[in-house]
Amino acid sequence: MPRHRPPSIRASKDCAACGRPFQWRKKWEKVWEEVKYCSDRCRHDRNRAKHV
């Protein structure tokens, strides 16, 4: 990705845990294809919905 893109044209995905959309971040630049969750909270709570 170019160095700077406005938020309106950044890549986005839907979170696997909460279903909300989230946008590409610089810290995910090298692993964007592997990112599934929008936050650490969703990543830690991914199994909670299955057990409740």
Q: Total structural domains in the chain?
A: 1
- Determine the structural domain holding residue 15 and report its residue range: 7-51
Q: Please tell me the distance from the alpha carbon of residue 16 to that of residue 4, in angstroms, as a whole number.
A: 26
* Residue 2 placed within a domain: no
* Residue 1 placed within a domain: no
Per-residue pLDDT of the chain (52 residues; tens, 9 = 90+): 556 777 677 889 999 999 999 999 989 999 999 999 999 999 998 776 554 4
Do 37 and 28 form a contact (C-beta atoms < 8 A)?
no
Could you tell me if residue 39 is left (phi over 0), alpha (psi between -120 and 50 degrees) or otherwise beta?
A: beta
* Residue 27 placed within a domain: yes
* Residue 40 placed within a domain: yes
- Bridge-partner residues for 41, per DSSP? none
* Residue 23 placed within a domain: yes
* Residue 41 placed within a domain: yes
* Residue 21 placed within a domain: yes
CA angle 17, 18, 20 (to 5 degrees): 125
* Residue 42 placed within a domain: yes
